[in-house]
Chain A
Amino acid sequence: MDGMDRQKFDADRMVRERLVGVAMPMFLNDGYIASTSEAVARAAGVSKKTLYRLFPSKEHLLATCVASVTAAISRDLAAVYAGPGDLRERIETAITIVSREYGRIRSPRFLDEARTVAPAVWTAFTTWRSQELARFADLLMLGISERIVRDRYTIDDIGRSYTSMIFACMELLHRIPSSVEPGVVYHTFIDLFFHGLMDPAYTTPPIQLVGIEPRPWVR
Chain B
Amino acid sequence: MGAMTTQQHFVLDTAWQLFSERGYGKVTMHDIARMSGISRRTLYDRFPSKGDILVRLVQRVGRRACVLVRTHAPTTPQELAQTLVDLVDIHLPVALLIHGGLRADDQALWKHLDRWHHRALLRIIAALLGHPSSLGMFRRPVDGTVTTLVIAAAIDAPFLLAGTGTATPRPLSARTDILTTLAVLLEGLIAPGGEPAVSSIDTV
Contacts and interface: CB of A to CB of B under 8 A. Distances in A.
Interface of A: 88, 91-92, 95-96, 99-100, 103, 140, 143, 147-150, 153, 157-158, 160-161, 164-165, 167-169, 171-173, 175-176, 178, 180, 184-185, 187-200, 202-203, 206-210, 212-215, 218-219
A147 B114 CA distance: 41
B192 interface: yes
B77 A207 contact: yes
Contact of B81 (A175, A184, A209, A218): A209
A200 B138 CA distance: 9
18 contacts: A96-B200, A153-B184, A164-B158, A164-B167, A167-B166, A172-B153, A175-B115, A185-B146, A185-B149, A188-B146, A196-B187, A198-B139, A203-B192, A207-B186, A209-B84, A209-B180, A214-B90, A218-B90
B194 interface: yes
Interface in B37-61: none
B198 A175 contact: no
A17 B204 CA distance: 25
B125 to A, nearest CB: 12
Contacts of A194: 188-190, 197, 200
B137 interface: yes
A172 B146 contact: no
A207 B146 CA distance: 22
Contact of A103 (B182, B184, B190, B204): B204
B193 A148 contact: yes
Nearest to A189: B150
Contacts of A184: 143, 146
A100 B200 CA distance: 8
A180 B149 contact: yes
Nearest to B146: A188
B203 A96 contact: yes
B172 interface: no
Contacts of B68: 218
Q: Is the interface of A mostly helix, strand, loop or mixed?
A: helix
Contacts of B183: 207-210
B157 interface: yes
Interface of B: 68, 77, 81-82, 84-86, 88-90, 114-115, 118-119, 122, 137-140, 142-143, 145-147, 149-150, 152-154, 156-158, 160-161, 164, 166-167, 176-177, 179-194, 197-201, 203-204
A29 B96 CA distance: 34
B180 to A, nearest CB: 6
A192 B150 contact: yes
A199 B137 CA distance: 6
Nearest to B165: A115
A63 to B, nearest CB: 20
A177 to B, nearest CB: 9
Given A167-B167, A187-B201, A210-B180, A176 B119 contact: yes
B154 A165 contact: yes
A178 B90 CA distance: 25
Given A171-B153, A188-B201, 14 more contacts: A92-B198, A161-B177, A175-B115, A185-B150, A188-B150, A189-B185, A190-B200, A193-B184, A196-B187, A197-B138, A199-B140, A203-B77, A212-B81, A215-B82
Contacts of B137: 198-199, 202
Given A188-B146, A192-B150, A210-B176, A165 B192 contact: no
Nearest to B72: A215
A76 B185 CA distance: 26
